[in-house]
Structure 1
């Protein structure tokens, strides 16, 4: 049986060009991704085209990928982090 700690997440570290790294909660990252995707409906990654809502696209992207190419040398990367007390 796998250790349940492998499936815990305390947040995400988010990287963007020319920006300091950010620590976001799942909900904050989801909102950030939705804000990006709402303006990119004509230029979606192929994997996201099957979803009919921006919410579904953002959730799938957040849970199954760790980056988004935004063209023109711009990108967004995110990685799950676990914080120790």
Structure 2
């Protein structure tokens, strides 16, 4: 089970093959995921139940850290903390 503090993060590092990693806000990461979903011919089975790619992207952000766009081409995203939490 993932640490619930990870949900408090507002930043993600995103990675695409043959590109430099990028640091995005959670809103930008959601848009980045939605853009990738829009490019896919067919969504993975577990995302087809969502009525929109926005909702599917949110599901990915909440539950996963990678997505195979085409065979052998995966994108990844990971929550990162830029500042330590205050105690």
Question: What TM-score bracket applies, with the shorter chain setting the length?
Answer: 0.7 to 0.9
Q: Distance in 1 between matches of 2:37 and 2:4?
A: 31
**Structure 2 length-normalised TM:** 0.81
Question: What is the rounded CA distance, in whole Å, between the counterparts of 1:66 and 1:5 in structure 2?
Answer: 16
Structural mapping, 1:1-85, within 5 Å: 5-40=5-40, 42-84=41-83
Unaligned runs of 5+ in 1: none
What is the CA distance between 1:4 and its match in structure 2?
7.0
Q: Which consecutive residues of structure 2, in runs of 5 or more, have no partner in the other structure?
A: none
Alignment length (residue pairs): 82
Equivalent residues of 2:6, 2:79 under 8 A apart:
no
RMSD between superposed Cα atoms in Å: 1.9
Q: What TM-score results when the alignment is normalised by the length of structure 1? A: 0.83
